[in-house]
Amino acid sequence: MICSLYGGSFLTIDSEERACWVTLHLVPGVGPKVFASLIESFGTARSVLQASVRELEGIHGCSPKVADGIQRSNVDVGRRELALAGDHGAEVVLWKDAEYPSLLKEIHDPPPVLYVKGKLPARIEPSLAVVGSRNATSYGARVTQRLVEGLCGEGVCIVSGMARGIDTKAHWAAVRAEGATLSVWATGLMEVYPQSNAKLAESIEKCGAVLSSFPMEAKAERGSFPARNRLVSGLCNGVLVVEAGSKSGALITAGFALEQGRDVFAVPGDIRSRNSVGTHRLIQQGAKLVHCCEDILEELPMSLVSHSANGRDVLLAGLERTVLDAVRGGTSTLDRLSDETGIGMDHLLGIITTLEMRGAIERSGGLLYAPVS
């Protein structure tokens, strides 16, 4: 099922229209913006492929060369691509299929076609991209593992690009923590890159998915990596940069995140390390400094439904969850809560007040707190 690109009722898309959609996607020069204009103007991909060159040239952004390429295209190309995906266990997800990630729909010019192996979560949010240097230090690896494990424990989906270094560390940490993780590729799904991550790719498919906007047989090209990075940030509520040199691709991902209105987080490092230059620059430019999971969780759309004393459901945010979990074992003082959660006293008092007002915890005498029974 798909709906019109700019809203409206859902339309049934048959196998032939799906093949036409993929065929149009594969025509050189038909990027997301031109694709959207064509579908908006002609209604269906089948109608686009049947249009004359003159009709196609009347669409903004559709040059004579692109129009000629569309007019000469053959739907057998799309059929072959769909068959190739199926033969390799991949699903082709179109722009407005129900499975298409909702966060990715929010960015400018989202890709009209995604290739997916594994299982896209029904709801990816909250999600965080974890990216960094290909030449990760032992410090960067340890920090990545610690943060990802904590985030997975809170139900955060980890997204990265499966590059060497921090990307790989983030994916493996999510897999081992039995959390959800998505890997976005700069190649087609028949081309594992780097090849050394073939086993990782198989593991990711079991607890999440690998996906690409490139055709199944596409090889790695220089320009495909920035396109991949744009999707990494587009799939997420925020981007965490663990280590980055002055010209790291992770900084490109952070730049896309800012354009897309996503939060940017950065882990500080050794001022003597080249891998700290990029992260420190991000912090200077306003990225949130991260030294523990809570620094990230309090910015993500975390939620937990808890029952208040009067039986109503209460929606709790990330750090509120942390405090509630800490008091569920019994009564606790403010000092003990601060020690257990790592939350500063001033911030903790505000959270406690909010939880009391929502009926999730109660004061049992003095500064003792207990979960509502």
14 and 160 inside one domain: no
Residues in the chain: 373
pLDDT band at 122 (very low <50, low <70, confident <90, very high): low
**Whole-angstrom distance, CA of residue 94 vs CA of residue 13:** 10
The pTM (predicted TM-score) of the whole model is 0.79
What CATH number is given to the structural domain containing 144?
3.40.50.450
The residue with greater pLDDT, 358 or 257, is 257
289 and 314 inside one domain: no
Which residue in this structure is represented by tokens 């990816």?
A: 124
Say what the pLDDT of residue 87 is: 97
78 and 48 inside one domain: yes
Q: Is residue 101 part of a domain?
A: no
Beta bridge partners of 365: 368
> Final residue of a domain: which of 251, 266, 297?
297
237 and 340 inside one domain: no
Say what the pLDDT of residue 340 is: 80
Lookup: tokens for 15: 């196998």
Tell me how many degrees the CA angle 369-370-372 measures, rounded to the nearest 5. Answer: 130
Q: How many CB atoms lie within 10 A of CB 24?
A: 26
DSSP class of residue 309 equals T
What is the torsion angle, in degrees rounded to the nearest 10, for the CA atoms of residue 345, residue 347, residue 350 and residue 354? -110
Q: Is residue 314 part of a domain?
A: yes
> Final residue of a domain: which of 297, 314, 333?
297
135 and 283 inside one domain: yes
Domain count, the chain: 3
pLDDT(171) > 70:
yes
What CATH number is given to the structural domain containing 356?
1.10.10.10
Say what the pLDDT of residue 331 is: 58
| Side chain identity, residue 15 | S
Q: Is residue 104 part of a domain?
A: no
- Domain range enclosing 349: 304-371
What CATH number is given to the structural domain containing 34?
1.10.150.20
329 and 190 inside one domain: no
Q: Is residue 188 part of a domain?
A: yes
49-58 pLDDT, tens digit per residue, is 999 999 999 9
Q: Is residue 283 part of a domain?
A: yes
193 and 233 inside one domain: yes
Q: Is residue 9 part of a domain?
A: yes
14 and 142 inside one domain: no
Structural Rg of the chain based on CA atoms: 24
Q: Is residue 23 part of a domain?
A: yes
Lookup: tokens for 101: 């990630």
Q: Are 68 and 42 in contact (CB under 8 A)?
A: no
Q: Is residue 105 part of a domain?
A: no
325 and 343 inside one domain: yes
Q: Find the mean pLDDT for residues 290-308.
A: 74
51 and 181 inside one domain: no
126-149 pLDDT, tens digit per residue, is 999 999 999 999 999 999 999 999
165 and 257 inside one domain: yes
**Whole-angstrom distance, CA of residue 248 vs CA of residue 166:** 12
291 and 313 inside one domain: no
